[in-house]
């Protein structure tokens, strides 16, 4: 009986060893059913396909290019866990919001240009308005002539979709033209601002109502940059600043709103020199608490009460520099605190 059990155990052991050996043959690194999930680590980087000079190579661009990291402002030295900043709503707090500066109006949309483009086309189709010309690379969509109710002259419209200030947002501009005079070139401003305003409100309402089921246009997504127009950069002199790709007038107004949303009280401003004088007081609305406020229920912001000067300076016709400096202090603001406050302001600029 004992010999019989010993033989059976030896047989089972031999069978298990054979199975384990077979597992290596079937599922190991050299097996038939090997795991290929790490193969990408061994993939070589191939050179760009060379084409003759007279051939158009535009279609050979990377479809999923990895953007460069522009905000690598990590300070040297011993790392310290920063105090969590309250979340900012930024441009995506509402799906669609109409903005106005002077005589200019536009719709700020909390979606990428590739999502806004097909929605505008859907709006025109639903309204029975014919699309006469499209240029996805420029973000332009032009309609044919439309006879509007209670209007003597027909009109046509140009929709311009641009990348918003923040990543993943868009700006929609509408230009209106009457069927009178020179109809071969678009005016710089709308012939009838009231009609332009009505059209902008109508398309904005359509975008807001259809945001949950918005398709994506890959052509428009690739043609219109989705990286945003605002970055934090380091100057040659060593200070950190916000680069904002907006004209000076709009940048000045946008910064004022962003400071108030970021918990700063504006105590004075000098438009001629481009300076805001502010004091950090915390959240602008006590009812709008940050996500991390439960971590510090009774703790005041460590820099509350400090005074700063926030300056706007033109870099060129389409971009400005925003810099923050501490006032009434014997020493400059530490880099980590400077970058933290600038990041808070940056998230609220629209």
Q: Taking residues 173-201, what's their average pLDDT? A: 91
82, pLDDT greater than 70: no
The rounded mean pLDDT for the chain is 79
Q: What pLDDT score was predicted for residue 54?
A: 75
19, pLDDT greater than 60: no
68, pLDDT greater than 70: no
The Cα 265–Cα 270 span in angstroms is: 15
| 65 vs 190, higher pLDDT | 190
| 332 vs 262, higher pLDDT | 262
The Cα 13–Cα 5 span in angstroms is: 12
Residue among 143, 161, 156, 172 nearest 217 (CA) = 161
Q: What pLDDT score was predicted for residue 330?
A: 78
148, pLDDT greater than 80: yes
Q: What pLDDT score was predicted for residue 170?
A: 92
User: Residue 304: which pLDDT band, with cuts at 50, 70 and 90?
Assistant: confident
Q: What pLDDT score was predicted for residue 122?
A: 92
Q: What pLDDT score was predicted for residue 296?
A: 47
Residue 54 CB neighbour total at 10 angstroms: 5
User: Residue 291: which pLDDT band, with cuts at 50, 70 and 90?
Assistant: very low
Rg (C-alpha) for the chain, rounded Å, is 29
Distances (CA, A) of 114 to 130, 215, 227, 334: 21, 8, 12, 40
74, pLDDT greater than 70: no
5, pLDDT greater than 60: no
Q: Taking residues 31-52, what's their average pLDDT? A: 75
Domains along the chain? 90-223 (3.30.310.170), 230-346 (3.30.310.170)
User: Residue 92: which pLDDT band, with cuts at 50, 70 and 90?
Assistant: very low
User: Tokens 């962003």 appear where?
Assistant: 258
Residue among 274, 273, 267 nearest 253 (CA) = 274
184, pLDDT greater than 90: no
Q: What pLDDT score was predicted for residue 114?
A: 85
Q: Is the pTM of this model over 0.75?
A: no
Q: What pLDDT score was predicted for residue 73?
A: 60
Q: 320: number of CA atoms within 13 Å, CB side?
A: 22
| 67 vs 240, higher pLDDT | 240
Distances (CA, A) of 90 to 47, 173, 246, 279, 346: 40, 20, 17, 21, 9
Q: What pLDDT score was predicted for residue 214?
A: 57
Sheet containing strand 240-244, strands side by side? 230-234, 240-244, 319-326, 307-316, 275-280, 264-270
Distance from first CA to last CA of the chain, Å, rounded?
A: 87
Give the β-pairing of 96-101 and 131-135: unpaired
| pLDDT more than 70, % of the chain | 69
Sheet containing strand 155-163, strands side by side? 96-101, 104-109, 170-178, 155-163, 140-143, 131-135
**Got the DSSP string for 243-301?**
EE-S-HHHHHHHHHHHHHHTTEEEEEEETTTTEEEEEE-S-SSTTS--TTGGGSTTPPP
The Cα 134–Cα 158 span in angstroms is: 10
The Cα 112–Cα 282 span in angstroms is: 31
Q: What pLDDT score was predicted for residue 58?
A: 66
| 58 vs 83, higher pLDDT | 58
User: Residue 145: which pLDDT band, with cuts at 50, 70 and 90?
Assistant: very high
Q: What pLDDT score was predicted for residue 99?
A: 92
259, pLDDT greater than 90: yes
163, pLDDT greater than 80: yes
The Cα 170–Cα 319 span in angstroms is: 18
């Amino acid at each position: 009986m004992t010999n019989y059990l010993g033989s059976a155990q030896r047989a089972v052991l031999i069978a298990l060893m054979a199975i384990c050996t077979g597992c290596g043959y079937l599922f190991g690194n050299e097996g038939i059913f090997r795991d290929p999930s790490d193969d990408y680590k061994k993939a070589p980087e191939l050179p760009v396909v060379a084409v003759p000079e007279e051939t158009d190579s535009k279609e050979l661009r990377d479809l999923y290019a990895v953007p460069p990291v522009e905000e690598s402002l990590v300070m040297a030295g011993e790392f310290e866990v920063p105090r969590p900043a309250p979340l900012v709503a930024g441009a995506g707090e509402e799906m669609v919001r109409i903005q106005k500066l002077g005589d200019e109006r536009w719709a700020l949309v909390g979606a990428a240009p590739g999502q806004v483009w097909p929605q505008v086309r859907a709006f025109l189709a639903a309204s029975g308005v014919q699309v006469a010309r499209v240029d996805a690379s420029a973000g332009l969509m032009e309609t044919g002539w439309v006879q509007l109710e209670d209007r003597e002259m027909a009109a046509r419209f140009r929709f311009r979709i641009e990348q918003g200030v923040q990543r993943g947002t868009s700006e929609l501009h509408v230009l209106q033209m009457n069927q009178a005079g020179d109809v071969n070139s678009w005016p710089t401003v709308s012939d009838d601002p009231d009609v332009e305003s009505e059209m902008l409100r109508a398309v904005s309402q359509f975008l807001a109502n259809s945001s949950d089921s918005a398709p994506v246009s890959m052509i428009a997504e690739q043609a219109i940059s989705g990286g945003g127009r605002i970055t934090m950069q380091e100057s040659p002199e060593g200070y950190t600043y916000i680069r904002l790709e907006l004209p000076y007038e709009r940048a000045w107004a946008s910064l004022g709103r962003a400071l108030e949303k970021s918990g700063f009280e504006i105590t004075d401003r000098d438009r001629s020199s481009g300076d805001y004088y502010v004091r950090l007081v915390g959240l602008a609305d006590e009812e709008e608490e940050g996500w991390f406020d439960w971590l510090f229920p009774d703790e005041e912001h460590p820099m509350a009460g400090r005074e700063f000067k926030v300056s706007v300076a033109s870099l060129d016709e389409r971009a400005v520099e925003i810099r923050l400096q501490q006032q009434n202090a014997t020493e400059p603001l530490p880099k980590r605190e400077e970058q933290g406050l600038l990041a808070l302001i940056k998230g609220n600029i629209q």
